[in-house]
Amino acid sequence: MKLEGLNEKQLEAVKTTDGPLLVLAGAGSGKTKVLTTRIAYLIESGVEPYNILAITFTNKAAKEMKERIFKLVGEVKDIQISTFHSFGLYLIKRHYNLLGYERNFTILDGDDSLVLVKNIVKEMGLNSDDYNPKAIRNKISGAKNELVDPFEYEKYATTDFEEVVCKVYKKYEERLKSNNSVDFDDLLILPIKLFSTFKDILKMYQERFKYILVDEYQDTNRVQYILVNMLAAKYKNICVVGDNDQAIYSWRGSDYRNILNFENDYPSLKSVMLEENYRSTKTILNAANDVIKNNKIRKDKNLWTKSEEGPKIRYHRASDEKDESYYVVNEIKNLLYDGVKRENIAVLYRTNAQSRNIEEAMLKENIPYKVIGSFYFYNRKEIKDLISYLKLIYNTNDDISLVRIINVPKRGIGDKTISNLSDKSFKLNKSLYDVIDSGKELTFKNTIEELRELSNNVSLTELIDLILDKSGIRKDLESEKSVDAEIRLSNLEEFKSITRTYEEANDSVSLGDFLEEISLVADINEHKNETNVVTLMTIHSAKGLEFDYVFVIGMEEGLFPHLNSMETEDLEEERRLCYVAITRAKKKLWLVNAKRRMIYGKTDSYLPSRFINEISDEYLEKDEVNKVKYENTTTDDYKYGDKVNHKIFGLGVIVGIDERDLTIAFGSKYGIKKIAKGHASLRREEDA
């Protein structure tokens, strides 16, 4: 096997075969190449493939690793290269009897486990409105991933809700066992229980897997951390590869401290830092370094490259979100005119809801695109549900819309009821709506009637709020208490920006005209060419990818960094997210924001993201009119970034200042508010 293609540090990581090894691999530094070459080197050095365990986070990464090893040393049998969950299943299948399961045990996916929780809640006679099954399932999953069983959970349950969770948790685990089933969390938890209970089994696998490699170690959670270190405890031939500066998944349980504390776990470790970048220009890397060095909780490193300087990063401050979108699309058109292929261009944003304006601008300019990591805005379930409410309010003969939403949110109206209504509708030759005369479906009909009556006297934007409130959709999503529910609620709130914009653009506004307008956009979305397209995606979805030309939009305080992430550790994760965004670009990068933006149906002024101001001016090409510095924005001794306390809204952070008012981010519950500077209910946090 030839090693000529490796740089000095990469070669060091490959040839360090024994003992604990920490490889801090910066963005674009060739970590996958190092991992696969190291495995091949171990094999050629005499290590049996049977004794090697390599763990990744995705099936795609595992497959790529296997393909690269094949190219290096040919076909290798008995080597274990898999995801964490696949490896967990591998162990459970071999020792199911010791864990109290039968051979034919089944695995419950997320939907299956939720159904089980719902059934238990129902059996216990609990009101699902008060005790949301999804919220309960999320609590159970969180407890399991902290290795907290129902009996230990009981010790810490202090609220009524937590006590209910504890009771459901106990029954949930009992039911899994009696059904000979495991859930997705169990795939990692049961191996730990196996190793903790049967020390001889643990010793057997410690002897089997003498060499362990873990990819993306900064993304491991507590359970994954414990499992890996149990296996590595005897021989300590463990190599972890990762980048603390790209730890962006704390919201799903990942703990970046695992990689930061690796040297504490293995004091005798060797550490190799991969800082040479093979992806980006010097300018892009220097900008990324400028941003990330402001984080305090990190292992210091500085990316560099032998590549050319490259063009300066283009910074554009648009007037509003529409101007932002058309600026980006116009720049993309220029790139395409110059011969750049669409697949080499990406637009990145902080939240899914931001894609709407870009999508609409792309559609109008006939530029094919695809949205990664989410549905097209108008095709997202929650948006289609909301539009169906509007359609039924407008036309009660719309049976398709009625069937879609009659049980959204859940009202206990099942398929049998809908089937009976359909039969009745057919016999009487009436719409489904017209034949509703009793039961829970009548309550739904009464809600629609009320909304129809109100729609005659309110604006479209106000009607959206009424639908979300009176239907129960808003309450249902708020009670779920999950990241997914927050995203869906954010998308629904963002829909008000569409109605508000429509109202501002049209003198005469009718529900029928509006529905026609958005139907045309939605129809176009259904017939999109998926080959050779511009990529639109969240920054989270972009991790691990690269593009020649990258646009990062929405670079404003309150949006990026997000208003929910103004505290120290959360802010550092937002900065790591910015670092990830910048380092996706190979040749040229655009950073774009808007002076004013409509968020959740309300237009406000926003200051440029602090991340832009952390980049040295020598790496930025700014529009002359857009040279904005927030550091000097002070008025009446208030300044940007000050923490304040409001009697009703609680703790907030100042994200905007004008002559009379302060724009303050109060978190997800209250969002962004504009409050007069001298308001009696507002105090500085240090004075509060």
Q: How far apart are CA 368 and CA 93, in angstroms?
A: 46
Q: How many other CB atoms are found less than 10 A from the CB of residue 296?
A: 8
Residues shown for the chain? 688
Of 183, 185, 186, 215, the catalytic one is 215
Q: How many other CB atoms are found less than 10 A from the CB of residue 592?
A: 24
The residues pairing with 646 across neighbouring beta strands, listed in sequence order, are 650, 682
| Active site (annotated) includes residue 351 | no
Kindly report whether the peptide bond that precedes residue 368 is cis, defined as omega within 30 degrees of 0.
Answer: no
Encoded amino acid at 202, one letter: L
Q: How far apart are CA 562 and CA 577, in angstroms?
A: 11
Q: Going by C-beta distance under 8 Å and a sequence separation of 6 or more, which residues neighbour residue 467?
A: 386, 389, 390, 393, 451, 473
| Active site (annotated) includes residue 305 | no
- Cβ 433 vs Cβ 397: under 8 Å: yes
Q: Is the dihedral of CA 476, 478, 480, 484 positive or negative?
A: positive
3-class DSSP state of 125: coil
**Can you say how many angstroms the Cα of residue 52 is from the centroid of all Cα atoms in its chain?**
32
Encoded amino acid at 274, one letter: L
Tokens describing residue 425: 């509708």
The residues pairing with 674 across neighbouring beta strands, listed in sequence order, are 663
**Can you say how many angstroms the Cα of residue 500 is from the centroid of all Cα atoms in its chain?**
27
Of 17, 32, 80, 635, the catalytic one is 32
Of 185, 186, 216, 557, the catalytic one is 216
**H or E stretch at 534:** strand 534-538
Of 10, 16, 31, 496, the catalytic one is 31
∠ CA 170-172-174 to the nearest 5 degrees?
70
Query: Both ends of the chain: CA-CA distance in Å?
Result: 66
Q: Which residues in 25-43 are b (16+ Cβ under 10 Å) and which e?
A: bbbbbbbbbbbbbbbbbbb
**Can you say how many angstroms the Cα of residue 499 is from the centroid of all Cα atoms in its chain?**
26
| Active site (annotated) includes residue 450 | no
- Cβ 635 vs Cβ 621: under 8 Å: no
| Active site (annotated) includes residue 224 | no
**CB-count burial class (<10 Å; 0-12, 13-18, 19+) for 207:** exposed
Tokens describing residue 433: 């709506």
Of 38, 144, 298, 584, the catalytic one is 584
Phi/psi region, residue 346 (left: phi>0; alpha: psi -120 to 50; beta: rest), is beta
Residue positions annotated with a catalytic role: 31-32, 215-216, 246, 584
